[in-house]
């Protein structure tokens, strides 16, 4: 029987690569819903190609624009309610969460409540409300399968291993666009410079997060929730080649690693086919030709966003929510050319400093902390 798949964020980097994976095995998948924000022409093209039951777009204005061009029989919805319907109202048994930012939280929870298996790329959802998402998935018996490359790597290394035998996780970081520059050289860097990731082609927000190392910070918190490990057993190392996607060290000192050329279709496909492996279109890794693999200690002074993520993760409660929300707004302001690159970390630092953490927050308390942090980050002036 075909897997009925919903793709939330279908027009983005992960969304389009998911549709590429799905389109290579038409006997295995049926796309039942697609959700996007603003790229209406791309969404229309996807709707004609995959013929889903339902499509959702960011606003009523955009919905009005595409309505008459949709294939007959495709239901059109929009906005936040549309996202929920795409996640939980189209009969998907498998939901790929590839939205950008914590706006993905409600639709992920809706998909879990509907009993769908989750392919999770949207790390901000776990950062902002990890205890709620993981508990809800466990209560509902819903698998949360990682798509993020590092977490897929760890998940693959852990396959069949007893979790009690893990000594630590080692998450690799490329170092991002400015890894060869000192902090003193970052004052005047441009948006264009920051968007040049050395190894991966990704959406704008995560590419900036890689450059500030906030991405690795988000990933540390994501790993804490996915693998249920304390922060002092999660390490980060610089690995400029992005070939070792992450590692697990076990109590007997054995280290398992997952390697491959950087291509997100591999972890996306693994999340879709798990527990099976299938052939993939990625270029096979040839270690004889890939050159030296380097590993360096992480410098927390060079990358304060990573330090702050560890601090927020350890503080728990609403602190990671604030870290994430302030960072989302700061990155949007940088991409909008309102603030400098280095102001991103100043904004995150000041939001965290002003925040009094609430332990074990419910969804309302998370929304409140998120809103306050966004307001402070939007109003921040040098």
Ligand X SMILES: CC(=O)[C@@H](O)[C@H](O)COP(=O)(O)O
Ligand Y SMILES: NC(=O)C1=CN([C@@H]2O[C@H](COP(=O)(O)OP(=O)(O)OC[C@H]3O[C@@H](n4cnc5c(N)ncnc54)[C@H](OP(=O)(O)O)[C@@H]3O)[C@@H](O)[C@H]2O)C=CC1
Contact assessment for residue 172 and residue 237, using Cβ atoms and an 8 Å cutoff? yes
Site for ligand X contains 148 (CB under 6 A)? yes
Question: Residue 20 half-sphere exposure, CB side, CA atoms within 13 Å?
Answer: 16
Separation of alpha carbons 180 and 374, rounded Å: 31
Per CB under 6 A, the list member of 54, 92, 114, 202 interacting with ligand Y is: 202
Separation of alpha carbons 318 and 373, rounded Å: 10
Q: Min. distance of Cβ 269 from ligand X in angstroms?
A: 14
Site for ligand Y contains 269 (CB under 6 A)? no
Site for ligand Y contains 58 (CB under 6 A)? yes
Per CB under 6 A, the list member of 83, 305, 332, 348 interacting with ligand Y is: 83
Site for ligand Y contains 197 (CB under 6 A)? no
Site for ligand Y contains 39 (CB under 6 A)? yes
> H helices then E strands: how many in the chain?
15, 12
| CA dihedral sign, ordered 272, 274, 278, 281 | positive
Per CB under 6 A, the list member of 39, 216, 224, 307 interacting with ligand X is: 216
Site for ligand X contains 176 (CB under 6 A)? yes
Q: Which does 74 bind (CB under 5 to 8 A by kind): ligand Y, ligand X, Mn ion, none?
A: none
Residue 358 DSSP code: P
Q: Which does 210 bind (CB under 5 to 8 A by kind): ligand Y, Mn ion, ligand X, none?
A: ligand X
Binding letters toward ligand Y, positions 116-155, x by CB under 6 A: -----xxxx-----------------------xx------
Q: Which residues have CB under 8 Å from 164's CB, separation 6+? A: none
Q: Tell me the two tokens of residue 177.
A: 């666009």
Q: Which does 174 bind (CB under 5 to 8 A by kind): ligand X, Mn ion, ligand Y, none?
A: ligand X
301 labelled ligand-binding: no
Residue ranges of the alpha helices (H) in the chain? 13-23, 40-50, 60-66, 79-88, 105-113, 123-140, 149-158, 191-194, 204-212, 214-227, 265-273, 304-315, 319-335, 341-354, 363-379
Q: Min. distance of Cβ 88 from ligand X in angstroms?
A: 26
Separation of alpha carbons 93 and 257, rounded Å: 30
Q: Which stretch binds ligand Y (CB under 6 A): 65-73, 195-203, 227-235, 300-308?
A: 195-203
Edge-to-edge strand list for the sheet holding 75-78: 75-78, 54-57, 29-35, 3-8, 94-97, 117-120, 144-146
Q: Min. distance of Cβ 195 from Mn ion in angstroms?
A: 17
Q: Which stretch binds ligand Y (CB under 6 A): 4-12, 169-177, 186-194, 361-369?
A: 4-12
Site for ligand X contains 149 (CB under 6 A)? yes
Q: Tell me the two tokens of residue 317.
A: 């409660």
Q: Which residue has the tokens 């994430």?
A: 324
Q: Which residue has the tokens 């998911």?
A: 18
Binding letters toward ligand Y, positions 9-38, x by CB under 6 A: xxxxxxx-------------------xxxx
Residues that bind ligand Y (CB under 6 A): 9-15, 35-39, 58, 83, 98-100, 103, 121-124, 148-149, 200, 202-203, 205-206, 264
Annotated binding site for NADPH: 11-14, 37, 122, 124, 203
Residues that bind ligand X (CB under 6 A): 148-150, 173-174, 176, 200, 206, 210, 215-216, 264
């Amino acid at each position: 029987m075909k897997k009925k798949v919903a793709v939330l964020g279908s027009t983005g980097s992960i969304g389009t690569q998911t549709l590429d994976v799905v389109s290579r095995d038409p006997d295995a998948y049926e796309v039942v819903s697609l959700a996007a924000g603003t790229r209406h022409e791309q969404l229309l093209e996807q709707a004609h190609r995959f013929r889903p039951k339902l499509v959702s777009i960011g606003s009523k204005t955009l919905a009005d624009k595409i309505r008459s061009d949709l294939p007959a029989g495709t239901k059109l919805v929009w906005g936040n309610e549309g996202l929920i319907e795409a996640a939980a109202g189209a009969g998907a048994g498998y939901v790929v969460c590839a939205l950008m930012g914590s706006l993905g939280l409600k639709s992920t929870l809706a998909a879990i409540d509907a009993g769908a298996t989750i392919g999770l790329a949207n790390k901000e959802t776990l950062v902002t409300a990890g205890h709620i998402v993981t508990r809800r998935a466990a209560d509902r018996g819903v698998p949360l399968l990682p798509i993020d490359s590092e977490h897929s790597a760890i998940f693959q290394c852990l396959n069949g291993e007893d979790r009690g035998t893990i000594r630590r996780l080692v998450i690799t970081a490329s170092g991002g666009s400015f890894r060869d520059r000192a902090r003193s050289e970052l004052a005047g860097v441009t948006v264009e410079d920051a968007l040049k990731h050395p190894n991966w082609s990704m959406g704008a927000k995560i590419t900036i997060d890689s450059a500030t190392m906030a991405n690795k910070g988000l990933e540390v918190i994501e790993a804490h929730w996915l693998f249920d490990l304390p922060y002092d057993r999660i390490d980060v190392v610089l690995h400029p080649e992005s070939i070792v996607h992450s590692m697990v060290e076990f109590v007997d000192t054995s280290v398992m690693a997952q390697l491959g050329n950087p291509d997100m279709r591999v972890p996306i496909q693994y999340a879709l086919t798990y527990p099976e492996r299938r052939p993939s279109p990625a270029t096979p890794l040839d270690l004889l030709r890939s050159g030296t693999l380097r590993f360096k200690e992480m410098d927390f002074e060079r990358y304060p966003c990573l330090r702050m993520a560890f601090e927020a993760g350890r503080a728990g409660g609403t602190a990671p929510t604030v870290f994430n929300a302030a960072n989302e707004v700061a990155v949007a302001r940088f991409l909008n050319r309102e603030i400098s690159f280095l102001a991103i970390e100043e904004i995150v630092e000041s939001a965290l400093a002003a925040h009094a953490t609430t332990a074990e927050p419910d969804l309302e308390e998370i929304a409140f902390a998120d809103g306050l942090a966004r307001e402070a980050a939007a109003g921040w002036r040098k």
